[in-house]
Structure 1
Amino acid sequence: MPPRDQEQTRRRVIEATIELLTREGRDAVTTRAVALAAGLQPPAIYRLFGDKDGLLDAIAEHGFATFLASKSLDPDPRDPIEDLKAGWDLAVEFGLANPALYVLMYADPTRPASAAFTAGMEILMSRIRRLAAAGWLRVDEELAAAIIHATARGAVLTWLSLPEDRRDPALLTTLRESMLTAVTNHEPATQEAGPIGAARALRAALPEQTALSDGEQHLLEEWLDRLTLGR
């Protein structure tokens, strides 16, 4: 099969699988059912994806790529806190709009990070670095990313686990505000006395500098991390 035809067939299978997943749930996604929905013979699924796990991995990657396409990064937001809130809301809204796909995307925490997931996390890290550079970040960057990601994912999965008559929008709002309280300061830390806010802001700005060698930058990062973590 020519590469172009193979890619078109692969796309058709992915679309058929997502439709089946959305309509009937994960248990309905079998190679035979997918092949029938896509108008193919079951061996074609194995040729394209290896096995059912390979197909599900491709569906998860498609989900991350679809979400990534919906994200945008303002290089200079007027309010970095509001920018973070908007990004969190977008992640939650995607999960609520695509429940079956979202559950599949996060069903296997040991699945290697896809290119789309990695790109999405880099957008998040860019938001976090801007917060840090402006003195708003309360914790170190990696912990902030983990908290933001965990609260958004937890919000979606908890919401989906509840009966419809118990789904209170206040749950989502409260989780978002708890996330903001955990990762950001009420006022920019660089306006307060002490080295921690300044060290965190400088740590966030390091990736943009070119004056230091790799070794010098690594050493400075270690010093700044010790200051920001208080050890």
Structure 2
Amino acid sequence: MAVDGPDVAAPDELARAVAGRLPALGRPAVVVPAGGFLRPASLRLEHGRTDPDARYTDWLDAAALAREVLGPVGPGGDGSYLPVLWDVERDRAARARPEPMPPGGVLLVPGALLQGLGLAFDVVVHLRVAPAARRRRTPAERAWELPAFDRYDDEVDPVALADAVVLADSPDHPALVLQGRFS
């Protein structure tokens, strides 16, 4: 399951909260943040530290996420996953070892700009933050990223692709909108 949304919508927090509730329902859960599958800084930042087009297209190593996580836990996979590939803080390989997916487990992958990449998610929850709310809530030092999210909305239309949408303009008042196979 993808939990797709900009950082201001806190997709990692939602994924951890959902994962914390699933064992009580008989489903173990694993959270593998997409942020652990970013490309090295030399590739991510090749066009500068504040290039919104690079943020949109060059940051996530979608092939590695598919190869090391989604494929192995999907149909025909060996049932193991790599919890992290790249240590962004140190800008080097994380050197993590594959871990076994618990039987009957649910994999949650939180992150930004996850749709439209051909990643094999069974379910996608999109945390929608309207452009005006993104501008209000994004810290000034990260405002350069805003055009990447505007482009994502225009080119991918993540709301239309998602199985469920959480309106997350206000962190204190989220609203779930079911669609697709859940409506």
Which TM-score band applies after superposition, normalised by the shorter structure? under 0.3
More helix by percentage:
1
**Bigger-Rg structure (1/2):** 1
Q: Could you state the TM-score of these two structures normalised by the residue count of structure 1? A: 0.20
Structure (1/2) with the larger strand percentage: 2
Question: Which TM-score applies when normalising by structure 2?
Answer: 0.24
